[in-house]
């Protein structure tokens, strides 16, 4: 039997705002087009919370049309690692 991995879900996770233009540029979209696609749920998002030495950081990934933009940000949405 595999060893379980404990996880905890924050009931009130912080809301992190990321500059849309930065993500839009990485996906090859105009900011308005990016926001429309995001609103229509055509862009997939994933946010991961850092642990250990990365505690307090978040990795936000955005996927669209075979492209990916990944940013590491702090709780205020300030980019601490350039897009990948």
DSSP letter for each residue of 5-28: ------TTPPP----HHHHHHHHT
Of 64, 63, 24, 54, nearest in space to 73 by CA:
54
- Sequence ranges of the domains in the chain: 20-81
pLDDT in tens, 27-63: 999 999 999 999 999 999 999 999 999 999 999 999 9
| pTM exceeds 0.85, yes or no | no
DSSP 8-class letter at 14: P
Q: How confident is the model at residue 14 (pLDDT cuts 50, 70, 90)?
A: confident
Residues 6+ apart with CB under 8 A from 8: none
Q: What is the pLDDT of residue 15?
A: 81
Residue 80 has pLDDT above 70, yes or no: yes
Contact 71, 22 (CB under 8 A): yes
43 is written with which tokens? Answer: 């862009």
């Amino acid at each position: 039997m595999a060893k379980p991995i404990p996880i905890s879900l924050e009931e009130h996770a912080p809301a992190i705002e990321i500059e849309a233009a930065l993500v839009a540029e990485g996906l090859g979209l105009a900011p308005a087009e990016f926001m429309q696609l995001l609103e229509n749920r055509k862009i997939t998002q994933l946010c991961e919370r850092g642990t250990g030495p990365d505690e307090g950081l978040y990795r936000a990934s955005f996927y669209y049309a075979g492209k990916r933009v990944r940013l590491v940000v702090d709780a205020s949405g300030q980019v601490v690692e350039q897009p990948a």
